[in-house]
Chains A and B, each alone.
Chain A
Amino acid sequence: MRLSPDSLIYLQWGFVKLNATIVFTWALMLVLAVSAKLITRRLSTSHERSGWQNLLEIVVTAIQKQIEEIGLSRPERYLSFLGTLFLFVATASVFTIVPGYEAPTSSLSTTTALALCVLVAAPVFGITQQGLGGYLKTYVEPTFVMLPFNIISEVSRTLALAVRLFGNMMSGAMIVAILLTIMPFVLPAVMTVLGLLTGMVQAYIFSILAAVYIAAATRARKPKPEPKADTTPAHAT
């Protein structure tokens, strides 16, 4: 029994190895890119369009709307990053219904990688939005005393992001595996369905949190009725 698809190694040259995580990630990337390419190959700009195009338009506009609701004023700027996060995590969990498939997101390495990406992306967006000084100033707000806590918060939330996704995805697969040994009929299927649900929820949570962190870093929130409202994001559970 494996805790992570990382341990399933197909090829290895010293430090460099080709494990199941990387292979399934490539597979997902291939599926996403090829299907996107196929669907967007003949896009219609008229009122009549294909069902697939409609689906993609719904997905893209829904993500855009969510980003806007978080408080990011120009969602198309963050759409590529946040949208891909959501789509990758969601697709990774959806494909769990395929036998023999192991979600890359059930590997702590993958979730860490994604969390690190968020950790890097937030300051990058923040600096491009309000400059280096402006961004760094957010660490000493409201007082200089808060600097260490802000840094700890930055690190800990990245850790939490990585571990939350990993835990949920891994546990889902683990529960199904354990249940298979106890009761091989019906119940694993139900648990798989539940796993799909939790996978979608986790994809949503992961990308929403990433959006919130970026919003906090850019401070590019829309003007609210109360100008002195606390812009510090609430820490995720």
Chain B
Amino acid sequence: MLIDWFTVGAQVLNFALLVFLMRRFLYKPILAAIAAREKKIAAELADADAQKAEAGKERDDLRQKNESFDQERAALMSEARDEAKAERQRLLAEARKAAEALSAKRQETLANEATQLNGALVRKTQAEVFAIARKTLTDLATVSLEERVGEVFTRRLRELKGEAKERLGASLKSQSSPAIVRSAFELPPEQRAAIQQALNETFSSEVRIRFEAAPDLVSGIELSTEGQKLAWSIADYLSTLEKAVAQLLKDSHKPPAAKPKPEPTEEPIAEAKRP
């Protein structure tokens, strides 16, 4: 008999034992290891996917940021350009204004210079004319220029009429202090007397006067009361000359800066004016 039943039974037991042993030592651990590895790989893949997604998101974010940054930069650049343009315009305008102001100042300075020159010329001319006139009068007559001035003033006083005379007379009468007679030089007593007499005769009353020397009158006599003034001086004649000289300067200098000087009179007149 080829089959030994004891051996069969023993082999069945042996096989069952072997199944148990293999299950215990081979299949379970191996399958567990494979499952663990698969789980790990799946986790790693999921992790990689998540990282990839995150990286993609970050890349998108970065791109978006870059774009907005570019836009911002462009906006800032254009703003800065506009500001620079405006600033340039402003500076140019300022510079133009400053240049204009400078030019105006220069012109003013020129005008001032011209005025000063004019003034100097006038003064010089006055002095020269005075000197010439005095010399001429002295040479021509035996009387001094001062006497002639006094005479002229007296004559003018006597020739005074109309409203001017009335106003001056009223002023002389009403004032309490004596009227002041200013002259460029100290008047001699005869002339003082002549003036006193002329006043008395003109206004038909005793006029109280006081004499004063005022060199700025440039050879002339001035009677001033409270509010009224009667004057005659070579300065009036000189005004005419000054006007002529000013006209001359105006013609020779373009643009003319010098403004016309004080109202010159054709002829020296006795005028009453309010101070």
Which residue numbers of A lie inside 8 Å of B, CB to CB?
A: 3-4, 6, 15-17, 19, 21-22, 25-26, 29, 32-33, 36-37, 40, 43-47, 53, 56-57, 60-61, 76, 79-81, 83-84, 87-88, 104, 107-110, 112-114, 116-117, 166
B contact residues around A26 at 8 Å (CB): 14
CB pairs A–B below 8 angstroms (28 shown): A4-B2, A6-B2, A25-B11, A25-B14, A32-B18, A32-B26, A36-B26, A37-B25, A40-B33, A43-B29, A43-B32, A53-B30, A57-B30, A76-B27, A80-B19, A80-B27, A83-B22, A83-B26, A108-B3, A109-B2, A109-B5, A109-B7, A110-B7, A110-B8, A112-B8, A113-B11, A113-B12, A116-B12
Most chain A beta carbons < 10 A, residue from B5, B6, B31, B36:
B6
| B17 adjacent to chain A (CB < 8 Å) | yes
Which of chain B's residues 34-58 have a Cβ closer than 8 Å to chain A? 34, 36-37, 40-41
User: Closest residue of chain B to A17, judged by CB?
Assistant: B6
| B253 adjacent to chain A (CB < 8 Å) | no
A175 to B120 CA separation, bound complex (whole angstroms) = 159
| B21 adjacent to chain A (CB < 8 Å) | yes
A61 to B37 CA separation, bound complex (whole angstroms) = 14
A36 to B25 CA separation, bound complex (whole angstroms) = 6
Interchain CB contact under 8 A, B8 and A113: yes
Interchain CB contact under 8 A, B11 and A60: no
User: Closest residue of chain B to A40, judged by CB?
Assistant: B29
A78 to B97 CA separation, bound complex (whole angstroms) = 106
| B69 adjacent to chain A (CB < 8 Å) | no
| B251 adjacent to chain A (CB < 8 Å) | no
User: Closest residue of chain B to A21, judged by CB?
Assistant: B7
Interchain CB contact under 8 A, A117 and B30: no
How many B residues have CB within 8 A of the partner chain? 33
Interchain CB contact under 8 A, A88 and B15: yes
With contacts A21-B7, A33-B25, A110-B11 known, what are 11 further pairs, Cβ within 8 A? A25-B14, A45-B33, A45-B37, A45-B40, A61-B34, A76-B27, A76-B31, A79-B27, A83-B26, A84-B23, A113-B10
Interchain CB contact under 8 A, A84 and B25: no
B contact residues around A57 at 8 Å (CB): 30, 33-34
B contact residues around A81 at 8 Å (CB): 19
Interchain CB contact under 8 A, B15 and A114: yes
A57 to B36 CA separation, bound complex (whole angstroms) = 13
A110 to B3 CA separation, bound complex (whole angstroms) = 9
Interchain CB contact under 8 A, A53 and B11: no
| B266 adjacent to chain A (CB < 8 Å) | no
B contact residues around A60 at 8 Å (CB): 26-27, 30-31, 34
A124 to B173 CA separation, bound complex (whole angstroms) = 165
Interchain CB contact under 8 A, B15 and A117: yes
A83 to B24 CA separation, bound complex (whole angstroms) = 13
Distance in angstroms from A80 CB to nearest chain B CB is: 4
Interchain CB contact under 8 A, A45 and B8: no
User: Closest residue of chain A to B41, judged by CB?
Assistant: A47
Distance in angstroms from B31 CB to nearest chain A CB is: 6
User: Closest residue of chain B to A115, judged by CB?
Assistant: B8
Q: Which 3 A-B pairs have the closest CB atoms?
A: A113-B11, A109-B7, A45-B36
Interchain CB contact under 8 A, A19 and B21: no
B contact residues around A6 at 8 Å (CB): 2, 4, 7
Interchain CB contact under 8 A, A117 and B12: yes
A47 to B43 CA separation, bound complex (whole angstroms) = 13
Distance in angstroms from B255 CB to nearest chain A CB is: 102
A contact residues around B3 at 8 Å (CB): 108-109, 112
A3 to B3 CA separation, bound complex (whole angstroms) = 11
Partner of B33, one of A53, A87, A113: A53
Interchain CB contact under 8 A, B22 and A32: yes
Distance in angstroms from A114 CB to nearest chain B CB is: 6
Interchain CB contact under 8 A, B11 and A43: no
Interchain CB contact under 8 A, B33 and A108: no
A contact residues around B21 at 8 Å (CB): 29, 32-33, 36
Q: Mark B246-267, 1 if CB is under 8 A from A, else 0.
A: 0000000000000000000000
A151 to B21 CA separation, bound complex (whole angstroms) = 33
Partner of A21, one of B11, B16, B19: B11
Distance in angstroms from A14 CB to nearest chain B CB is: 10
User: Closest residue of chain A to B14, judged by CB?
Assistant: A25
Interchain CB contact under 8 A, A56 and B12: no
